[in-house]
């Protein structure tokens, strides 16, 4: 279970999102919200990438007190990833794989599934937005995560890749009991997946639909 208590995140003294108490059970969950509503800010906070006020824990692992154990279980893919141009996709994947203790076999399997092994030895600065997105998606599946957040996972990727992302989510959920938080703005929908709860991000708050 993901537990959020007295959570708030502000930029320049302006509250972007605040959540007094939210308990998200295991399963696949869909976060909807218009552009700028705070979905990415919430996901980044839960991923432990940006600082925030309040408490977040995943299966009783506290994001601050159990910083490493928490981050071994919680992975994230950014909506619009920004990476250093001079690294190759492979360098980046290998770096994250080492941190997440993913083996080479897992890297190769994911790379083949998503078709990134065709271009991953080229530098990231030469990639299209869809190619970058697939690198970001791959990194979220590395290691033995128990919670994976995919921020706008379907934007910029082609139809074939969309199907592969659906398959990966289903496989990880069914075979390894992985929970997912998936976000989308209006255009992209996740009805094909076994969605447990839907949440709406709006007016600086998160409400269950
Ligand atoms: N680093 C930052 N500094 C200042 N303001 C920020 C920063 N990051 C996000 N914001 C603001 O926080 C608000 C929420 O942004 P966020 O990216 O979380 O929304 P979102 O729901 O993910 O939107 P989108 O669907 O467009 O990706 C926006 O008003 C944005 O301008």
> The domain spanning residue 76 has which CATH number?
3.40.50.300
Taking the C-alpha atoms of residue 58 and residue 66, their distance in angstroms, rounded to an integer, is 10
Q: Would you write out the chain's pLDDT as a tens digit for each of its 209 residues?
A: 999 999 999 999 999 999 999 999 999 999 999 888 999 999 999 999 999 999 999 999 999 999 999 999 999 999 999 999 999 999 999 999 999 999 999 999 999 999 999 999 999 999 999 999 999 999 999 999 999 999 999 889 999 999 999 999 999 999 999 999 999 876 567 778 889 999 999 999 999 98
Closest-CA residue, ligand 1 atom 26, reads 35
Q: Is 13 in the pocket of ligand 1 (CB under 6 A)?
A: no
- In this prediction, residue 187 carries a pLDDT of 59
> Which residues are CB-contacts of 65 (< 8 A; sequence separation ≥ 6)?
none
Closest-CA residue, ligand 1 atom 2, reads 11
C-alpha 109 – ligand 1 centre gap (Å) = 33
Closest-CA residue, ligand 1 atom 18, reads 38
Q: Would you say the C-alpha torsion 44, 204, 129, 30 has a positive or negative sign? A: positive
- In this prediction, residue 35 carries a pLDDT of 86
Which two three-digit tokens encode residue 73? Answer: 């279980």
Q: Is 89 in the pocket of ligand 1 (CB under 6 A)?
A: no
Domain span at residue 14 reads: 2-208
Taking the C-alpha atoms of residue 35 and residue 171, their distance in angstroms, rounded to an integer, is 29
- In this prediction, residue 185 carries a pLDDT of 78
Number of domains the chain is built from: 1
Q: Which atom of ligand 1 is nearest to the CA of 43?
A: 18
C-alpha 73 – ligand 1 centre gap (Å) = 25
- In this prediction, residue 21 carries a pLDDT of 96
C-alpha 39 – ligand 1 centre gap (Å) = 8
CA atoms within 13 A on the CB side of 93: 31
């Amino acid at each position: 279970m993901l537990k959020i208590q007295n959570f708030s995140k502000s930029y320049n003294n302006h509250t972007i999102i605040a959540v007094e108490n939210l308990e998200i059970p295991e399963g696949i969950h869909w976060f909807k919200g218009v552009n700028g509503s705070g979905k990415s800010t919430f996901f980044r906070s839960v991923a432990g990438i940006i600082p925030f006020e309040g408490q977040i824990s995943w299966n009783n692992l506290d994001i601050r007190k159990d910083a490493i154990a928490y981050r071994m279980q919680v992975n994230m893919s950014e909506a619009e990833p920004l990476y250093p141009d001079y690294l190759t996709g492979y360098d980046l994947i290998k770096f994250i794989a080492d941190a997440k203790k993913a083996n080479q076999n897992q890297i190769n399997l994911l790379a083949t599934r998503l078709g990134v092994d065709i271009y991953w030895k080229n530098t990231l600065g030469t990639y299209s937005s869809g190619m970058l997105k697939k690198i970001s998606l791959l990194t979220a599946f590395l290691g033995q995560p128990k919670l994976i957040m995919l921020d706008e996972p379907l934007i910029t990727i082609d139809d074939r890749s969309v199907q592969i992302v659906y398959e990966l989510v289903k496989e990880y959920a069914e075979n390894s009991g992985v929970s997912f938080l998936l976000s989308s703005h209006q255009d992209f929908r996740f009805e094909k997946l076994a969605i447990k709860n839907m949440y709406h991000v709006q007016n600086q708050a998160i409400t269950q639909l």
